[in-house]
Amino acid sequence: MQNTKQQATAFLILRIGIGIIFTVLGIQKLLGGNEVWTGVGSAMGFVGIKFSPAFWGLMATLAELVGGILLIIGLFTRYAAIALLFTMIIAVILKIAIDGTFAGVSAPLTMLLIMIFFAIYGSGTNSVDAARARK
């Protein structure tokens, strides 16, 4: 059985690594501007929401950017994970609709599962959330 310090370190590495990935993806989409946001937001059409795709794309972009930063520092981790969870649900639906292969769906599905983990578990002991709880 792993000791608590090893588990805390493993969760820290996972949280920071996933946070960096989301932050980079969010920055790329943010820099893409309205055209990229519209493309990203058009995925909402697969769940019946067809109005304001640029708005929805910007919301997904901000969820990735801000959520990624919050994951890195371990602040409001559960809230960030829930926002990213919704974003990944839409990403999975999109990938199923346009690709349909397991390979195409596996990346957003993996992120979805990791967000479920963080939404349930939180940020772990090496985080701002944990430091705030100790006060």
Shortest CA distance to 12 belongs to which of 76, 101, 72? Answer: 72
Shortest CA distance to 72 belongs to which of 41, 118, 35? Answer: 118
Domain locations along the chain = 9-128
pLDDT confidence of residue 3: 75
Q: What is the pLDDT of residues 24-51, one digit of tens each?
A: 999 999 999 999 999 999 999 999 999 9
Q: pTM to 2 decimals?
A: 0.92
Q: What is the pLDDT of residues 46-64, one digit of tens each?
A: 999 999 999 999 999 999 9
Neighbours of 30 (CB within 10 A): 15
Q: What is the pLDDT of residues 99-123, one digit of tens each?
A: 889 999 999 999 999 999 999 999 9
96 has a pLDDT exceeding 80: yes
